[in-house]
Amino acid sequence: MSLRIALPLIFCAFSLLPSILRAEEDQFVERHVAILSAYKAFKDARADAEKIAKESKVPFSMQGRVYDKKRGLIYPDDFEDEAFRGGYVARRFDKTILDGGDKETSYLSVEKSDAYKGFTPGYYIVVAGIRDNRADAVKQAEKFKKWAPTAYAKKTKIYIGCLH
């Protein structure tokens, strides 16, 4: 390609970059996460999540993810969606459709704190839900105080755009 053709294309690309970056930033929304507990070790977080799920009768789900000793919490390398294989995608929504179900339901999950803006990195957190506003997240966390006395709500920004 000649320089005469390449320069206008390069200029065009750079002039569009701020718009592209703004559009991507618009895909982040403020959310409030109801956190029940936090652990350095995945096995401790999962054990706590399963215990709370059993006692509260709120289902626990890994959403297809597994724990790998070298990579941490990930989707397995043979996961049905190629885009997620071997990687981690944080929980983004409050409810899900569980295996064998046909309607959305609340659930508990274990997530990596690193995946949420403003959270202290290096922890596995037990999440009871992700709400649009702080009051709802605090109320949700309060429901679990009997089993998770340290439950609280924390604000973050979550990417809600396409992951593919």
**Considering the domain boundaries, does residue 18 fall inside one?**
no
Distance in angstroms (rounded) separating the CA atoms of residues 51 and 47: 6
Contact 161, 22 (CB under 8 A): no
Domain extent, residue 104, equals: 31-159
- Per the domain annotation, does 72 fall within a domain? yes
- Assigned domain for 164 exists: no
Residue 62 lies in a domain: yes
pLDDT tens for the chain, residues 1 to 164: 544 454 444 444 444 445 444 445 678 999 999 999 999 999 999 999 999 999 999 999 999 999 999 999 999 999 999 999 999 999 999 999 988 888 999 999 999 999 999 999 999 999 999 999 999 999 999 999 999 999 999 999 999 888 87
Classify residue 130: in a domain, yes or no: yes
In a domain, 9, yes or no: no
- In this structure, is residue 2 part of a structural domain? no
Rounded Cα–Cα distance for residues 118 and 64 (Å): 26
Q: What is the pTM of this model?
A: 0.83
- Residue 54 has phi, psi (to 5 degrees) of -65, -45
CB 42 within 8 A of CB 91: no
Q: Are residues 140 and 131 in contact, defined by beta-carbon separation less than 8 angstroms?
A: yes
**Domains of the chain: total:** 1
The answer to whether residue 134 is domain-embedded is yes
Are 129 and 140 in contact, with CB atoms under 8 Å apart?
yes
Q: How far apart are CA 92 and CA 103, in angstroms?
A: 17
Residue 22 and residue 17: Cα distance in Å, rounded?
Answer: 9
